[in-house]
Amino acid sequence: MKFSTPLFALGFALTATASPLEVRDLATFKTIIANIQSDADALDVTIKAFTSGDGAAVSAAADKLVATINTGVTTANAQPVLSDLDALGLTTSVNTCNDHVTIVVDDTIAKKAAFTAACLGPDILADLTSQLAAAKALATAVTAKVSDLLKPTAAQLAGKISANIQRGVDAYTGVAGC
């Protein structure tokens, strides 16, 4: 019984420090990230499938991803500040999302010759630039929802996603249209 008493006290102390009036909805943040990951995967499918043409499917998928990220910004901004424990609970989700973003960017760079041959280089650059701006806005919104102690970690995690998208922007910068 003595062993369980300190655990009970720790649990009580942790719950007592949380404001009962404040709703901390970790699930909302995980849903934002999952939706972005899903749309990034859908964009990747269209990028891999592209061989020639007007790129309408790629553009539509890219637009959907940006809209999803922007919706995530609005949703995140409406949330209360996360507890440190909840904020740390986002680490795996953000890293997994970054892995998916890495794949999309790598595949977009790998398709550069096909996109350029179809005169879509400037369009792809515009899509990537929009994704980068949206990702930075989301990073700012999510970072604002963690404690000052965790802001550097949150910024670092979000920075990985922005850096990946920046690689795509760099790859397509200066690509001429037809």
Average pLDDT (47-73) is 97
- Asked if residue 106 has pLDDT above 60, the reply is yes
pLDDT: which is higher, 44 or 10: 44
Instruction: Record the tokens describing residue 122, joined without a space.
Output: 């400037």
pTM of the model: 0.85
C-alpha distances in Å from residue 22, one per residue of 80, 100, 105, 129, 131: 7, 32, 38, 36, 32
- Nearest residue to 131 via CA among 27, 59, 29: 59
Q: How far apart are CA 168 and CA 173, in angstroms?
A: 9
Question: What does the mean pLDDT of the chain come to?
Answer: 88
Give the total residue count for the chain: 178
Alpha helices in 78-172 (DSSP H): 84-88, 91-110, 112-117, 121-143, 151-172
Average pLDDT (54-63) is 97
Domain chopping of the chain, boundaries: 25-172
- Asked if residue 157 has pLDDT above 70, the reply is yes
Please tell me what DSSP assigns to residue 24: -
Tens digit of pLDDT for each residue in 72-103?
Answer: 999 999 999 999 999 999 999 999 999 999 99
